Amino acid sequence: MTGLVAPVARALGARRGELPAVLLGAAMFFLLFTGYFMLRPVRETMGIAGGVDNLQWLFTGTFVAMLAAMPLFGAIAARVRRRRILPWTYAFFGSHLAAFAVAFGIDPGNAWNARAFYIWLSVFNLLTISVAWSVLTDLFSVEQARRLFGVVAAGASAGGLLGPLLAIRLVGAFGHAGLMWLSLCLLLASAGAASALQRWRDRHPLPEQEPTARSRPLGGSPFAGAGDVARSPYLLGISLFVLLLASVSTFLYFEQARLVEASFPDPDAQTRVFGTLDAIVQTLAILTQLFVTGRIARRLGVGVLLVAVPLVAAAGFVWLAFAPVFAVLAVVMVVRRAGEYALVRPGREMLFTLVPVASKYKAKNFIDTVVYRGADAVSGWAKAGVDALSQHPAVAALAGAGLALAWAATGGALARSCRRRDAPAPNPDGV
């Protein structure tokens, strides 16, 4: 590495020969998140248009749709060559995105199309992002993950920053259907970056990885992911962590919808608010991912990544209980989401570098999708029930604080389990 390449690589934590992989991984996430975050503000506006009091029904519909999608993904993961799982999954969702673009082009104001799109995008984002992380946990070693996952995740935040800005800029000229066609192009480009990353690993194989393994299907049942989780205390712990993460997110999401509806009655203003919050979140996340995440993981360990944000979220809920206004909610939401992207998500993915290959795809995607959306659905109804019984937002906020503290405790336990798994095996000969 000469010239400008060596200083750039050192600044990003990359070693000799790793910079192309870092840039390809970041590009994969950048393209995927740009396309998704162009459509996210539209989805949020559609959710409010359907009635804030009905959000729990959309969350339940999303969970049902996820249950239907998982066997299809399981079949792809079992029968398709491992290196082709991501392209096949993205092609599957790309065909749906094209169909939505046609439907919105023909009838832009159809309420059922809007509801279907809300549910579909909520399934799409979890599965496509989860598969992208599965590829990274498959291609990078544990040691590389600690150094590089934060930097690679910065590509996601950069896309998350550009996406809403493009939506604000282009929706007037292209309409929702036009944004969907553009998102489809970005999704296919993301699959191309993932394929290039696979070819890089072919040229630089891991010592412990069989060279032809990624060219074979994983095999097994389409439902194997659920079974793997049920049999593994470690994976059950990750499931509990994700369940609590999703519950905390849902409580904040419902508060966000309630306060945005009250503070900004105009739908266009709501879309701009959501886009602005997304832009602030991603800017903070990029700076943290580039310069902080990797250093924390190397020097302080994965535990800090998993515990810090839940503790901050608990404090934010307490603040919101005493000051239930939009300005406070915005600060708590921004800090929680930026921390999740910059710290929690890379730390969570590092946990999967220590599981068998099949679990990196099947069990991981079961946790990231079915467990996450199931928690969304249950906590959505729980939030609606708390609001109905208490008639005071402070009660829901304090309940959210309790969930956040449980989330932090689970993160600490997972970090300890991770250290035990990653510890070198004892040498009985003492050599």
For 268, the token pair is 């266009």
- Which amino acid is located at 161 in the chain? L
At residue 64, the pLDDT reads: 87
- List, in order, residues 6 or more apart from 186 with CB less than 8 Å away: 31, 32, 34, 35
At residue 55, the pLDDT reads: 67
Q: How far apart are CA 38 and CA 182, in angstroms?
A: 9
Give, as one character, the DSSP assignment of residue 426: P
**Residue closest to 10 by CA, chosen among 353, 294, 207:** 294
The residue assigned the tokens 């991912």 is 289
Q: How far apart are CA 275 and CA 164, in angstroms?
A: 5
- List, in order, residues 6 or more apart from 9 with CB less than 8 Å away: 1, 15, 16, 18, 19
Q: How far apart are CA 190 and CA 63, in angstroms?
A: 26
Q: How far apart are CA 66 and CA 380, in angstroms?
A: 16
Q: How far apart are CA 195 and CA 193, in angstroms?
A: 5
Phi first, then psi, for residue 217 (nearest 5°) are: -65, 155
- List, in order, residues 6 or more apart from 76 with CB less than 8 Å away: 85, 88, 89, 92
For 331, the token pair is 């600060």
Q: How far apart are CA 167 and CA 271, in angstroms?
A: 9
For 56, the token pair is 């729990």
Q: How far apart are CA 141 and CA 156, in angstroms?
A: 20
At residue 5, the pLDDT reads: 63
Longest dimension (CA), the chain: 73
Do the Cβ atoms of 43 and 117 come closer than 8 Å? yes
Q: How far apart are CA 191 and CA 83, in angstroms?
A: 11
- Which amino acid is located at 129 in the chain? I
**CATH fourth-level superfamily of 12-421:** MFS general substrate transporter like domains (1.20.1250.20)
Q: How far apart are CA 24 and CA 198, in angstroms?
A: 10
Q: How far apart are CA 279 and CA 315, in angstroms?
A: 23
Q: Residue 274, class by beta-carbon neighbours within 10 Å (0-12 exposed, 13-18 middle, 19+ buried)? A: buried
At residue 285, the pLDDT reads: 83
Domain limits of the chain?
A: 12-421
**Residue closest to 131 by CA, chosen among 94, 180, 82, 97:** 82
pLDDT along the chain (431 residues), means of 10: 60 73 93 92 67 70 85 85 92 94 86 84 90 90 82 85 85 85 96 94 79 73 83 94 92 82 75 77 81 79 91 94 88 89 88 88 89 85 76 82 95 91 54 35
At residue 196, the pLDDT reads: 95
pTM recorded for the entire structure: 0.76
For 325, the token pair is 């206004």
Q: How far apart are CA 97 and CA 94, in angstroms?
A: 5
Please name the helix (run of DSSP H) or strand (run of DSSP E) that holds residue 169, with its range, or none: helix 142-203
Q: How far apart are CA 168 and CA 270, in angstroms?
A: 12
Do the Cβ atoms of 150 and 89 come closer than 8 Å? no
The residue assigned the tokens 């604080």 is 401
At residue 188, the pLDDT reads: 96
- DSSP conformation letters of 214-255: GGSB--S-TTHHHHHHHH-HHHHHHHHHHHHHHHHHHHHHHH
Overall size of the chain counted in residues: 431
Q: How far apart are CA 257 and CA 98, in angstroms?
A: 28
Do the Cβ atoms of 103 and 179 come closer than 8 Å? no
The residue assigned the tokens 């449980």 is 406
